[in-house]
Amino acid sequence: MSEQGQNNDLELLTFRVADQEYSLDIMSVREIRGWTRTTPMPHAPDYMRGVINLRGTVLPVMDLARRLHLPSQETNDRNVIIVVNLNGTLTGLLVDAVSDIVAITEDDLQLPPDMSTDPQMSVVRSLTVIDDRMIRVLDLRAVVPAASDEVA
Amino acid sequence: MSDQNDPMAEIRASFFIECEELLEALQDGLQEMEEAEDGSEDPETINVVFRAVHSIKGGAGAFGLEALVRFAHRYETVLDEVRNGVLHPDSDAMKLFFLAADHLSDLVRACRDETPLPEETSEELLTRLDALLGDEGGAEEVAPEDFQPMGLSLGLDLPDLDAPTANHFTIRFKPEQELFATGNEPLMLLRNLCDLGTSSVRCNLADLPALEDLAPETPYIEWLIELETEAAEPEIRDVFEFVDGLCEIEITGAAPEQGPTEIAPLPEELSKALPEEAEPEAALPETLEPQVAPPPTTAGKSEERESAKDTGEARKGGAAAAKSVVRVDLERIERLVNLVGELVINQAMLSQSLDEAGLSPHSDAMNGLEEFQRLTRDIQDSVMMIRAQPVKSLFQRMSRIVREASAAVDKDVRLITEGEGTEVDKTVIERLSDPLTHMIRNAVDHGLEGAADREKAGKPRAGTVKLTAAHRSGRVIIEVADDGAGINRKRVQEIAVSKGLIPPEIQLSDSEIDNLLFLPGFSTAKTVSNLSGRGVGMDVVKTAIQSLGGRITINSEPNKGTTFSISLPLTLAVLDGMVVNVAGETLVLPLNVVVETLSLGPDDVQMLRPGHYVVRVRGGFVPLYDLGVMLGYRQQRKTEAGAIVLLIVLEDSTRAALVIDGIQDQRQVVIKGLDDSFYRAPGIAAATILGDGQIALILDPADVIAGMGHMRGADLMLSERMIANE
Amino acid sequence: MSMKVLAVDDSRTMRDMIRMALMPAGIEVHLAEDGVHGIEVLDGLSPDAIITDINMPRMDGFGFIDAVRDQEEHRATPILVLTTESAPELKMRAREAGATGWIVKPFDPAKLVKALQMVAG
């Protein structure tokens, strides 16, 4: 599946996590849900918020702030869960709020500076500037670990 | 999935399904033949075996699967000799038949999946099969013209009647009596002949006797046909293919340049012999048409009739085959199972809200709800039954594993299966294949001794592996038992110590030692053999079984053998659960592990050492765990008197007491898998959706207890036993 | 043409193939799973021709042909034997039992139709 349209067009869903702006390719976003209480999983890493009922299936929810090693905020009613589809598997990403959908072209993307020591940047695929705001484009594959990675 | 619009693809898919059935019948038949070695078997058995291979060949030919045809044909040739009583297979031959059946099944699957064919094995097996035939016709090949691959082109390949004719033939045809006995009809033959070109037909009644001498069944008439045709002589012969030997036939003349209308004069004596009454020239086929055409039926009527007959066939077919079967796409069943799951959840939500509304239990709404619950449960059971399949196919695969494994380590092994008809959820069967394969290999490789050792121990040289399935109290029990030397516990303990899995000084009971086999990183193979020792240990087997909601236990007796028992839920989709509260969370425990609920008295709890408590249960001691602590939901705290405790007993007889905060309910819950999650939590088997829409986790109590770490596991075993010895 | 044919074969694949081959030619196809079933289906049906396999459970092709020929109304019904064997002795046995002709599997649909037309119009 191509990540871009015919004219290198790319639509990004932008959202806020711990007062920073991030984005995801909209093609990988299935839906956006309001925050509901999660059922915590035992002995889970801190970014694993638990599971919720998504129309009869069990959806694991990840706290994106904690995943990005940012200070986690108290959850409130404005928080949303972005349901993303990675290789057919659905995962919920808890973010502070969804901002916008922006259309850009591949040319607008810049590779992130090499900051491999920065754990936050390892999941950022590229950067783009919209209205003078720097927006990080997340690499979903790096954000959501494969289940096998986590088996202790 | 095959293209729905392509009927050939559908038939092809259906052919492969049929092949699986035939291969199963083949296995069964061979098994029966083997068991009745003295020739006491039902003569029908070899017919079944033969037919299975034969039918596979037939279908394979239709799809141009030449390698499959070739192998099946020569296998069948050998089986035919057995069927005809020419060949009496000894036990080596039977082994070869089994190998050939296995290989046939490989070929079928390779053809189905369009993967490379194991041609070398084919050759080797064919050579061995041919050797059974001895001198005569060993290397018989399939006649190439019989098995040409062909596509289904559905156009009618009839001769073009308007094409210019080139040849002229005179054909003399005199039917014999037998021709009529086979349902052949001279008029049809003549018509077919005339279809080849332009013709004139005369009949010679010279042999017709006087009426009083006429035998009604004896044919006296001879036909003479003059034919102008494009066709060559072989095509004319083809017309008479079915009656070859049932008539006198003479074909003469091929005069290419003669005009199409010119008819050669009849031989003089025949002309003279033609009696006046006989019509000298019959223009065919028009004249004959009324006599041969089937009675006209209206299209509508015939359709009606066909559909009526179709259902009739279905019914009769059902009666004939004992069971009527509908093939359904698995996806549709999955969908139905999911919907029923939703229904169960919905019903739970409804009953919760009706409950909260404070309705009288005798109100219409509550009565209706009760009926609704009953129906839901019935629907659920019925749907689950759709997914149930006998374990037979699985067991058959295992018999192959035994054959291969025993050949690899050069042991003589006999597999006995019991309870093949036991039905289990299809997914469970599929996912059991790998762990069971490993267990069977283990039994052959490690469980059974070599023939020499067996003799020394006073056992028959051939080892036995017994594979059984049975339903027991709502679960399926599958056992793999060998009659080998039993677990070498001294050795097992040594290995566990050397691998740092247990401390050297620890004293363990037999059963504790046996259970060490399930620890990750344990492998007893002294040398890495062909079979086991692939880095897959019993811990992987255990994990696989647990992921199915099952348990595995060992029972071993020195010199008698080892039995592994797997206990599985009947279905993956529902669970009888106890819904409990722990640290503000709702959790579900499988009801079948809970044997008792207790309320702690003031002196019931004793500390074994800091952080380790035991509880006195009717004179015995059982380790006590706070579920909230074990799941990381809360810090260790002093367990107060009055706390609610669930006494659980696991399949391996491990007992434990779990501290919880409260019991909500006992009911069926729909199991929702957590397989897709990026995080797999230890101790959690699955999840379910509660009446309020919230998710509750379903615990795997054995895993929760074992999940405290391997060393801790051994430690616990120790403490448990110390307490027991107190 | 509205020809009516009874086809008897224990292989579902073969039955499917026969149906596939004959239906487009406008032939009405009735199916049976073995000889015994074939006799049942034959009851009340007056097919223009019968196609039968040889190797079948319960009642094989020879037995089936015998049984068909025993019925007065089917004494002259053309019967084609479907067989993977082109061995002459099998054809002869089929003929002795009363078969009209034979088709060697795997058959070409057109050939099957043609053979039926040859024996049954």
Inter-CA distances, C43 with A41, A46, B347, C52, C68, Å: 67, 75, 52, 16, 10
Domains of chain C: 4-120 (3.40.50.2300)
pLDDT for residue B309 is more than 70? no
Tokens of B635: 């810090």
Q: What is the mean pLDDT of chain A?
A: 81
Kindly state the helix (H) or strand (E) to which residue B340 belongs, with its residue range.
Answer: helix B330-356
Inter-CA distances, B233 with B64, B237, B252, B639, Å: 30, 6, 9, 103
Cβ–Cβ gap C10/B59 under 8 Å: no
Cβ–Cβ gap C106/B62 under 8 Å: yes
The DSSP secondary-structure symbol of B672 reads B
B14: nearest CB among C12, C34, C104 = C12
Per-residue pLDDT of C37-53, as tens digits, reads: 999 888 888 899 999 98
| Interface probe with B: pick from C2, C6, C8, C13, most Cβ of B within 10 Å | C13
Inter-CA distances, C27 with A9, B136, B363, C116, Å: 57, 44, 63, 10
Amino acid making up residue B163? A
Inter-CA distances, B163 with B196, B237, B283, B284, B555, Å: 10, 20, 19, 18, 83
- Strands B605-609 and B612-617 come out as antiparallel
Three-class secondary structure of residue B115 per DSSP: coil
Cβ–Cβ gap B184/C119 under 8 Å: yes
Q: Which of B132-141, B352-361, B693-702, C103-112 has the lowest mean pLDDT?
A: B132-141
C33: nearest CB among B7, B292, B321 = B321
Three-class secondary structure of residue B334 per DSSP: helix
- Evaluate whether residue B156 is within a structural domain: no
Per-residue pLDDT of B240-293, as tens digits, reads: 878 877 888 888 775 444 444 444 444 444 444 444 444 444 444 443 333 333
CA distance B405 to B77: 28
Contact B585, A40 (CB under 8 A): yes
CATH number at residue B189: 3.30.70
Cβ–Cβ gap C106/B150 under 8 Å: yes
| B674 contacts in chain A (CB < 8 Å) | 51, 58, 60
CATH number at residue B697: 2.40.50.180
Where b means 16+ CB within 10 Å and e means fewer, A28-46 reads bbeeeeebeebbbbbbbee
Q: Which residue has the tokens 């192998």?
A: B71
Measured between CA atoms, how close is B386 to chain C, in angstroms? 22
CA distance B62 to B51: 16
Q: How confident is the model at residue C85 (pLDDT cuts 50, 70, 90)?
A: low
Cβ–Cβ gap A42/B693 under 8 Å: no
The per-residue pLDDT for B588 is 93
* B618 vs C1, more confident: B618
Domain end call among B259, B290, B321: B290
Q: Which of the listed ranges B514-528, B560-574, C68-82, C106-120 does the model predict with the highest average pLDDT?
A: C68-82
Q: Across the strands, what pairs with B227?
A: B169, B199
Provide the H-helix boundaries in B255-298. 268-273, 289-292
Q: DSSP of B294-314, one letter per residue?
A: PPP--HHHHHHHHHHHHHHHH
- Evaluate whether residue B155 is within a structural domain: no
* C98 vs A72, more confident: C98
Contact B190, B289 (CB under 8 A): no
Cβ neighbours of residue B708 under 8 Å, at least 6 residues apart? Answer: B630, B716
Q: Does B181 contact C at CB distance below 8 Å? A: yes
Contact B462, B413 (CB under 8 A): yes
The per-residue pLDDT for B272 is 44
Name the E strands within B190-291: 197-204, 222-229, 247-252
Residues in chain C: 121
Q: How confident is the model at residue B301 (pLDDT cuts 50, 70, 90)?
A: very low
A152: nearest CB among B345, B682, B695 = B682
Residues 125-164 of B with CB under 8 A from C: 143, 146-148, 150, 152-158
Cβ–Cβ gap B342/A56 under 8 Å: yes
Q: Across the strands, what pairs with C109?
A: none
Report the side by side order of strands in the sheet with A80-86: A29-34, A80-86, A89-95, A57-63, A48-54
Q: Based on the domain organization, do B381 and B443 belong to the same domain?
A: no
| B338 contacts in chain A (CB < 8 Å) | 56
Q: At what angle do helices B66-83 and B43-62 cross, to 10 degrees?
A: 160
Mean pLDDT of all residues in A35-62: 87
Residue C34 has phi, psi (to 5 degrees) of -160, -175
pLDDT for residue B552 is more than 90? no
Q: Does B584 contact A at CB distance below 8 Å? A: no
Kindly state the helix (H) or strand (E) to which residue B599 belongs, with its residue range.
Answer: strand B594-599
Q: Does A40 contact B at CB distance below 8 Å? A: yes
Q: Does B184 contact C at CB distance below 8 Å? A: yes
Q: What is the mean pLDDT of chain B?
A: 75
Per-residue pLDDT of B193-206, as tens digits, reads: 777 777 777 777 77
B11: nearest CB among C13, C58, C69 = C13
Q: Do chains A and B touch (3 or more CB pairs under 8 A)?
A: yes
As for how many domains chain B has, the answer is 5
Contact B59, B15 (CB under 8 A): yes
Residues 111-140 of A with CB under 8 A from B: none
pLDDT for residue B673 is more than 50? yes
Kindly state the helix (H) or strand (E) to which residue B356 belongs, with its residue range.
Answer: helix B330-356
Long-range CB contacts (within 8 A, 24+) of B518-523: B518/B542, B518/B552, B519/B710, B519/B713, B520/B710, B522/B495, B522/B496, B523/B495
Mean pLDDT of all residues in B312-336: 58
Cβ–Cβ gap A42/B684 under 8 Å: yes
Q: Based on the domain organization, do B236 and B90 belong to the same domain?
A: no
Mean pLDDT of all residues in A38-57: 87
Cβ–Cβ gap B14/C99 under 8 Å: no
Cβ neighbours of residue B643 under 8 Å, at least 6 residues apart? Answer: B599, B600, B659
pLDDT for residue A10 is more than 60? yes
pLDDT for residue B153 is more than 70? no
Residue range of the domain that includes B624: 574-725
Q: Based on the domain organization, do B121 and B221 belong to the same domain?
A: no
Q: How confident is the model at residue B1 (pLDDT cuts 50, 70, 90)?
A: very low
Q: Which of the listed ranges B141-150, B162-171, B613-622 does the model predict with the highest average pLDDT?
A: B613-622
Q: Across the strands, what pairs with A147?
A: none
Q: Does A62 contact B at CB distance below 8 Å? A: yes
Measured between CA atoms, how close is B542 to chain C, in angstroms? 41
Q: For chain C, give the percent of residues with pLDDT over 90.
A: 14
The per-residue pLDDT for B545 is 84
Kindly state the helix (H) or strand (E) to which residue B659 belongs, with its residue range.
Answer: strand B655-660
Q: Does A45 contact B at CB distance below 8 Å? A: yes
Tokens of C118: 């040859």
Cβ neighbours of residue B299 under 8 Å, at least 6 residues apart? Answer: C2
The DSSP secondary-structure symbol of B523 reads -
Residues in chain B: 726
CA distance B281 to B461: 84
From C18, C14, C93, C5, select the one nearest C56 (Cα to Cα): C14
With the CA atoms of B708, B710, B713 and B715 taken in that order, what torsion angle do they form, in degrees rounded to the nearest 10? -110
Kindly state the helix (H) or strand (E) to which residue B397 belongs, with its residue range.
Answer: helix B392-409
The per-residue pLDDT for A61 is 93
Measured between CA atoms, how close is C95 to chain B, in angstroms? 6
Q: What's the fold here for domain A9-143?
A: OB fold (Dihydrolipoamide Acetyltransferase, E2P) (2.40.50)
Q: How confident is the model at residue B708 (pLDDT cuts 50, 70, 90)?
A: low
| Interface probe with C: pick from B46, B309, B323, B327, most Cβ of C within 10 Å | B309
Q: Based on the domain organization, do B362 and B399 belong to the same domain?
A: no
The per-residue pLDDT for B650 is 73
Q: Which of the listed ranges B279-283, B320-324, B415-419 does the model predict with the highest average pLDDT?
A: B415-419
Measured between CA atoms, how close is B584 to chain A, in angstroms? 10
Tokens of B169: 């033939």
Domain ranges of chain A: 9-143
Residues in chain A: 152
The per-residue pLDDT for B202 is 78
Q: Does B339 contact A at CB distance below 8 Å? A: no
CATH number at residue B494: 3.30.565.10
| B707 contacts in chain A (CB < 8 Å) | 43
Q: Which of the listed ranges B150-154, B255-259, C19-23, C81-85 does the model predict with the highest average pLDDT?
A: C19-23
The per-residue pLDDT for C16 is 84
Cβ–Cβ gap B154/C110 under 8 Å: yes
CA distance B477 to B422: 10
Cβ–Cβ gap B182/C2 under 8 Å: no
- Strands B684-689 and B222-229 come out as unpaired
Where b means 16+ CB within 10 Å and e means fewer, B75-89 reads bbbbbbbbbeeebeb
Name the E strands within B120-240: 167-175, 197-204, 222-229
- Evaluate whether residue B498 is within a structural domain: yes
From B344, B339, B327, B431, select the one nearest B386 (Cα to Cα): B327
Q: Based on the domain organization, do B559 and B614 belong to the same domain?
A: no
B676: nearest CB among A39, A41, A89 = A89
Tokens of B648: 């659980």
Q: For chain C, give the percent of residues with pLDDT over 70.
A: 95
The per-residue pLDDT for B217 is 65
The DSSP secondary-structure symbol of C23 reads G
| C4 contacts in chain B (CB < 8 Å) | 294, 302
User: How big is the A-B interface in CB pairs under 8 Å?
Assistant: 84
Cβ–Cβ gap A144/B678 under 8 Å: yes
Q: At what angle do helices C109-120 and B186-194 cross, to 10 degrees?
A: 120
Contact C6, C47 (CB under 8 A): yes
The per-residue pLDDT for A91 is 93
The per-residue pLDDT for B308 is 39
| Interface probe with C: pick from B182, B244, B284, most Cβ of C within 10 Å | B182
CA distance B185 to A73: 94
Q: Based on the domain organization, do B236 and B138 belong to the same domain?
A: no
Provide the H-helix boundaries in chain C. 12-22, 35-42, 61-69, 88-97, 109-120
Contact B634, B583 (CB under 8 A): yes
Cβ–Cβ gap A42/B695 under 8 Å: no
Tell me whether residue B258 is exposed, middle or buried, using C-beta atoms within 10 angstroms of its C-beta: 0 to 12, 13 to 18, 19 or more. middle
The per-residue pLDDT for B514 is 87
The dihedral sign for the CA sequence B95, B98, B104, B110 = negative
How far, in whole angstroms, is CA B233 from its chain's centroid?
51
Domain end call among B348, B364, B389: B389
Measured between CA atoms, how close is C79 to chain B, in angstroms? 7
CA distance B450 to B412: 8
Q: How confident is the model at residue A14 (pLDDT cuts 50, 70, 90)?
A: very high
Residues 682-711 of B with CB under 8 A from A: 682-684, 687, 689, 693-697, 707
Tell me whether residue B24 is exposed, middle or buried, using C-beta atoms within 10 angstroms of its C-beta: 0 to 12, 13 to 18, 19 or more. middle
Q: How confident is the model at residue B586 (pLDDT cuts 50, 70, 90)?
A: very high
